Chain A
């Protein structure tokens, strides 16, 4: 029985590889993984940051493992649809995906039962810190001036955006406000369909500031329409040396970012997990990956499977606390 299945699998794989214009791998009965194309699920749309990261990784995996790694964008539901597709796939190593920080948030909102525990974590590949951006002709010249103004203003007067309600940059704002000893809703959050429309509205004069990541705000900053006052990270970013951290200016330490990593469904076979872990480490250290991340202004951060899992557990706890404080969590 198993023979038939694996033979059929090999045949399918060979056919698909042939269709992709590649030379089909020799069909050995008990072939080593991967003996057929692998699907990489991306819970976010084509052309976005997550899509770009998973595509560069898929491309490099394809080069070193000799089988096509096809990226499938399973979007919608603020990431729930794609994340659940990764978790519910057969744990045979032929369906993997990119897991994003939303996995540490969605279940607190009661949107899904899924948590980081439903995945075999393989490696963390990136972590972007939130920033504080204002319009270029904003009256607030630096982060201290903005912080003072926010403290002095009545609740709800200041408006900020960067992503949807309860999204990662919303939590960053909540964290910052808590750090200043203010209520989480002291600044009103204006939900937006991602960072780009929020930056557009900032430039149009509809918002006071944005808390999206620096790379997301970069095009508008380069165009002279916006400027960054601070980033919420441990250290300054090498690509944006002039932007101070919140820690050095206000003494508020928030390390909450939008992270991405590669994972598969729970209970992936140990040999596949080990092989992929080593391959992903190689990719992280490669020149190709570094050049790509630098060009997009994305921050590199690596953790191996076990460390990634621990990191996700920690992130899950932190985000849960912020969400509860902000009244965003269910139960």
Chain B
């Protein structure tokens, strides 16, 4: 045991591995912070590079770059209201509200500090609980996945500050958009208008970039520039975080646990973890009315959650070769390529390599803090730059990012343009665009799990409620669904009584 750990340290503290970690950390920070390039994209772009690296260095680049990219996706979201990754979309408005209050560095500090701690918590779960968590993941059939996806969708109404009706309308529009294409359970081409590109459906990334980034650029053209914020250099970024850690221990722990659970489940990743955690924070907060006005509570829980899910997503990947999310789907390919074939033998026969992976996870999350602080200091200057200089650059990033993400396909650029228009008019009329993005992210999972479940049960809906885990998830979903109606009715009754009196 001790011997293996010493060996593992030997494997990690090689010059090539350390250089790989450092370089991919900077790469992940930069790519994640560019609007239009997601953490998944950052990982996919690394695959060709891993060909030329030693096995441990190859896996190290994937681990480090994805963790950094998930954190730095918060940076443009916070500073410009343009989320860098779908995982940040849940709390972008909150972080941006803090920026408008002149607390950009605090908001980013929260994202950084709680991301790093969340990543370490996720790693500990991977080290200690991997077999237990893996068994848990294997108890999820399509019935459970369906409720899980529904629960994710419910978050749209919980998170939105607008009327729940408008949030649901946006979400349904997102679901409708995922109907496009042929990647559905029946393998039937829908809404493709005979176009090959539409056969592939609409990817979440161009839609996200369009409704957030491009719509923001359009707004900046049509609206007067908001009063300039003074660039204030705050004191130590970390000092404030320590205070917040002591103030919100429950939120942080809950975020970590939710992130770990969602990460382990196949098909649900950091995106969903952030949404669910932000919704949870608001639901159980003593001051839910402060949410959306630049309140740190939701940021802490969601930030703690999405990075925790990143590490625990490796559990089913390493044990069964089943991806927990899109990033581990790519990582599995790299593991095979490097002879680290997933399976329990990886834990027994190559134990030192496994420990090396754990060490890299922890190391990656630790160096995230100093590198992240540098990144925050540099990036927060964007706020004080004139909008007329920033917006054209963003426009270029949107187009280039979408083009590159889709494998040099111009179709994605058109997608961004169309979604930019859609997002602009939705926001103008008070429809939350984040809810639509959630619909697009979750739509495939909802449909796939529902249809396949019905095929398996010969059309009976009983198994959705019979299986133990499914029944618990069903109860939670229905409660989340009925709660707004219930509280609305309650308010109406009280209101009516007050008027009568």
Q: Does B associate with A?
A: yes
Residues of A within 8 A of B (CB): 41, 45-48, 51-52, 55, 59, 70-78, 80-82, 84-85, 109, 111-112, 156, 159, 161, 164-167, 188-193, 196-197, 199-201, 203-207, 218-220, 222-225, 292, 295-296
Interchain Cβ contacts under 8 Å between A and B, 16 examples: A47-B330, A47-B331, A55-B337, A80-B200, A109-B187, A111-B189, A112-B199, A156-B458, A165-B186, A188-B458, A191-B187, A196-B323, A203-B320, A206-B141, A222-B343, A292-B337
Most chain A CB atoms below 10 A, which of B181, B186, B456: B456
When distances are taken between beta carbons in the complex, the residues of chain A under 8 Å from B199 are 76-78, 80-81, 111-112
Closest to B406 in A: A74
Q: Are A46 and B330 closer than 8 Å at their CB atoms?
A: yes
Quick one: which of A41, A51, A84, A200 contacts B196, CB cutoff 8 A? Answer: A84
- Cβ–Cβ contact B455 & A47, under 8 A: no
B321 interface residue, CB < 8 Å from A? yes
Identify the closest chain A residue to B454 (Cβ).
A190
Q: Are A296 and B47 in contact (CB under 8 A)?
A: no
CA distance A292 to B337 in the complex (A): 7
User: Contact check: which of A46, A165, A199, A296 meets B44 at CB < 8 Å?
Assistant: A46
Contact partner of B319 (CB less than 8 A), chosen from A41, A164, A223, is A223
Chain B, Cβ-Cβ closest to A49: B333
B408 to chain A, nearest CB (A): 6
Bound together, the chains give a CA A165 to CA B187 distance in angstroms of: 6
Q: Determine the interface band of chain B, counting residues with CB < 8 A from chain A.
A: 35 or more
Q: State whether A77 touches B196 (Cβ < 8 A).
A: yes
Tell me the bound Cα distance from A85 to B408 in angstroms. 11
**Chain A contacts of B181 at CB under 8 A?**
76-77
B320–A295 touching, CB < 8 Å: no
User: B320 contacts which of A159, A191, A192, A220 (Cβ < 8 Å)?
Assistant: A220
Q: How far is the CA of A34 from the CA of B48 in the complex (A)?
A: 20
Q: A59-B51, A222-B344 are in contact. Are A52 and B337 (CB under 8 A)?
A: yes
Closest A-B pairs by Cβ, 6 of them: A76-B200, A47-B333, A219-B321, A77-B199, A47-B330, A222-B343
Q: Check: B35 CB closer than 8 A to any chain A CB.
A: no
Say yes or no: A73-B330 contact (C-beta < 8 A), given A47-B47, A111-B189, A192-B452: no
Which residue of A41, A166, A224 is within 8 Å of B344 (Cβ)? A224
Whether a CB of chain A sits under 8 angstroms from the CB of B227 is no
Whether A190 lies near B452 (C-beta < 8 A) is yes
Additional pairs, 6, CB under 8 Å, beyond known A52-B337, A109-B187, A225-B138: A47-B333, A190-B452, A193-B444, A200-B137, A200-B320, A220-B320
Q: Which residues of B contact A46 (CB under 8 A)?
A: 43-44, 47, 330, 333
Shortest distance from the beta carbon of B187 to any chain A beta carbon, whole Å? 4
> Which residues on the A side are within 8 Å of B266 (C-beta)?
196-197, 200
Q: Is the CB of B138 within 8 A of A76?
A: no
Partner among A47, A82, A205 whose Cβ is within 8 Å of the Cβ of B334: A47
CA of A218 to CA of B320 in the docked complex: distance in angstroms? 9
B187-A207 in contact (CB<8A): no
Q: Is B448 an interface residue (CB 8 A)?
A: yes
Where chain A touches its partner, the secondary structure class is mixed
| Per-residue interface assignment for chain B, residues 353 to 387, with 1 indicating a CB less than 8 Å from any chain A CB and 0 otherwise | 00000000000000000000000000000000000
Question: B182 touches which one: A78, A159, A192 (CB < 8 A)?
Answer: A78
Residues of B within 8 A of A166 (CB): 187
A228: min CB distance to chain B, Å = 14
Q: Does B183 contact A (CB under 8 A)?
A: yes
Contact with A along B437-481 (1 / 0, CB 8 A): 000000010001001100110100000000000000000000000
The distance in angstroms between the C-alpha atoms of A274 and B456, with both chains bound, is 50
**Which chain A residue has the least Cβ–Cβ distance from B267?**
A197
Enumerate chain A residues within 8 angstroms of B333, measured Cβ to Cβ.
Answer: 46-48, 51-52
Establish whether residues B320 and A199, one from each chain, have CB atoms under 8 Å apart when the complex forms: yes
The reply to whether B455 and A76 contact each other, CB–CB distance below 8 Å, is: no
Complex CA–CA separation, A292 to B333 (angstroms)? 12
Cβ A219 vs Cβ B341 within 8 A: yes
B140 within 8 A of A: yes
Q: How far is the CB of B140 from chain A (nearest CB, A)?
A: 6
1/0 per residue B145-185: CB within 8 Å of A? 00000000000000000000000000000000000011101
Q: State whether the Cβ of B201 lies closer than 8 Å to any Cβ in chain A.
A: yes
B341/A218 in contact, CB under 8 A = yes
For residue B142, CB closer than 8 A to chain A, the reply is yes
Q: CA separation between A241 and B336, bound complex, in Å?
A: 21
Chain A min CB distance to B6 (Å): 27
Q: Does B197 contact A (CB under 8 A)?
A: yes
Q: Within 8 Å of chain A (Cβ to Cβ): is B285?
A: no
Cβ-based interface call for B304 (8 A): no
Q: Say if the beta carbon of B102 comes within 8 Å of chain A.
A: no
Q: Give chain A residues whose Cβ lies under 8 Å from the Cβ of B139.
A: 204
Bound complex: CA of A65 vs CA of B245, how far in Å?
57
Q: Which residues of A contact B388 (CB under 8 A)?
A: none
- Contact across chains for B187 and A200 when beta carbons are under 8 A apart: no
